[in-house]
Amino acid sequence: ALLVEPHRSTTLQVVSPTRTMKYQWSIGDWGEDKEAHEAVGAVISHKFSPGTVKVVLKKMMQDKEVGSCVVPVLAKYVRRDMGKLDDEDRKAVVTALRALYDYSDEEGEKRFGENFFSAETLAEVHIDGAAKCDHIHDGNGFLNAHMLLTAMVESALQAVDPVVTIPYWAYERDGTVMKFSEVNGNSLPFTEEWFGVADERTGEISGVFGDITYPVAGSADRVQDMYGLVRAPWNISPNPKITRFFQSCQAPDITSLPTCDDFHEWLNMTHLTHLMDRVQYTPHGGTHLGIGGYSHEKSGFDPSITCSAIVQIVDSLDVSKAWIIDFLQNPDRIRKTLWREGYATCKGSPSCRAAQVCMCESTESFTEEVMEELLEAPAGSTTPQDLVKALNIAGGDQLTSQGAFDPQFHLTHTNIERLWSFRMLNTDKFPIDDWTWYEQYEECSGHNPKDTVHIPVFGIQLTNLDALELFDARNGYMPYVYDSLDIPFAGFEERHRLGGANASNVQGGFGA
């Protein structure tokens, strides 16, 4: 089939037309009961809808048919490298994304149709899936859940502008040339033209999305933080705006962007369970962790604990240097674990909200024995109360499950999905020797093969096995392709394309 892009003008023309011939075109569904689009001429232009149609070309001479041909045409969206979009297409993506923040679900559905979802809803879906029990991270359910979330976001964008797709950020390229402390303002997503530059003091972002604030929960049955905003329950940042800090306490480059070597390491895994489990860590790596980062003593939105205070507390502990480094890298992860296990409580009050100093506190069940067993912090090195106090440092939003409210979040995941497409299309070079999907997490669903994926798409509930088949690029079920599956990395440099779909041969689109 001829591959074209939907909702873009595609030129169809007869090669070496004859002046004595009349050329009639008919473009329609394969079903005979559907009305076809008719056109006449050696060259015509047409905008295709997504899906497969047939194009019939008839050669006419003196109103008699003297020849014809039928060409199947497949219209699929093309996800492109964000660095290859021209200014017009970049603006289209940014404008459509902004609309998700400007309209509620009800307003958006009235204006754009039933496929619209607000940014608030999309972020809440992600938070709900990762709150008390993490159904969508730290296990085999990660990839499927996030591919379905991306599909929801893309559907909402296309309700606003049917031409738009979510581009991808090929961060493995940036990972080879810059440290995380250099990403802000230099890597393309974090520039004024895209998703804004973060202020080094407050973490607040500039640009089109700089004025956005997190929605107020307004109801006790919604997941919310100590300030009553729709964010992770263990969040302690009082700043209602999107923030990014790109650093850890006294260790700005402890986390690095994944590189081509990280991609290579993951691609060489040969067990399906290992592939699904590790994709969150090795090729996806510390992207969100590093982007979120932690505020420091210069921040105008710190609670009473700052990086310098945490370092003083941690340095006084009788623990190994490796433990301290891990602690300083991601206090939020430890605070989240303690909250989920009931060892910490994160409850807001009118007084702490007014003073912007709401903090998590330890519970009676968080004893020294638990601290030693759960966190490998030797008993006697500190008190459980002081340890939880040391965790109370504000971080950027992508550190935790509220990160899906940051519009840049989704361009990281389209890159992982691109890698997954590459993996499935190259099982000859990177074989999967064992396709067994082992059971995981009996008490927290979402990670086993027949578990329902905790991301509902248009009211359809898919199992992990359903999603695995749906997103297998070999099956062709996805409504999109990638402009290129060129993924150069150590030991394997070769061009790979999804079914021939790339910027040079997709008709009617970017670079066509």
Place of tokens 């995380």: 180
> Quick one: pLDDT at residue 252?
52
Stronger pLDDT, 179 or 478, i.e. the higher one: 478
> Quick one: pLDDT at residue 255?
65
- pLDDT tier at 217, thresholds 50, 70, 90: very high
Residue 61 has pLDDT above 70, yes or no: yes
**Span 70-86, mean pLDDT?**
96
List Cβ neighbours of 204 (8 Å cut-off, separation of 6 or more): 198, 210, 239, 241, 242, 243
State residue 31 phi and psi, 5-degree precision. -70, 135
Stronger pLDDT, 204 or 176, i.e. the higher one: 204
Mean residue pLDDT across the chain: 86
- Residue in 368, 497, 481, 456 with CA at minimum distance from that of residue 152: 456
> Quick one: pLDDT at residue 304?
43
Residue 439 has pLDDT above 90, yes or no: no
pLDDT in tens, 255-313: 678 888 889 899 999 999 999 999 998 899 789 988 988 876 544 334 445 566 666 66
**Span 224-241, mean pLDDT?**
93
State CA 67 to chain mean position distance.
49
Residues listed for the chain: 512
Residue 67 CB neighbour total at 10 angstroms: 10
Stronger pLDDT, 330 or 288, i.e. the higher one: 288
pLDDT in tens, 98-129: 999 999 999 999 999 999 999 999 999 999 99
Burial of 66 (0-12, 13-18, 19+ CB in 10 A): exposed
**Span 437-442, mean pLDDT?**
81
> Quick one: pLDDT at residue 150?
96
- pLDDT tier at 511, thresholds 50, 70, 90: very low
Residue 8 has pLDDT above 60, yes or no: yes
**Span 142-159, mean pLDDT?**
96
Which residues lie across from 26 on neighbouring strands?
38, 56
Q: What is the DSSP string of 201-259?
A: TT-BB-STTTT-BPPB--STTS---TTSBSS-TT------B-B-----TT-TTSS----
State residue 207 phi and psi, 5-degree precision. 85, -160
The count of C-alpha atoms lying within 13 angstroms of the C-alpha of 492, restricted to the half-sphere facing its C-beta, is 17
State residue 60 phi and psi, 5-degree precision. -120, 140
Mean pLDDT lowest among 97-101, 110-114, 144-148, 373-377: 373-377
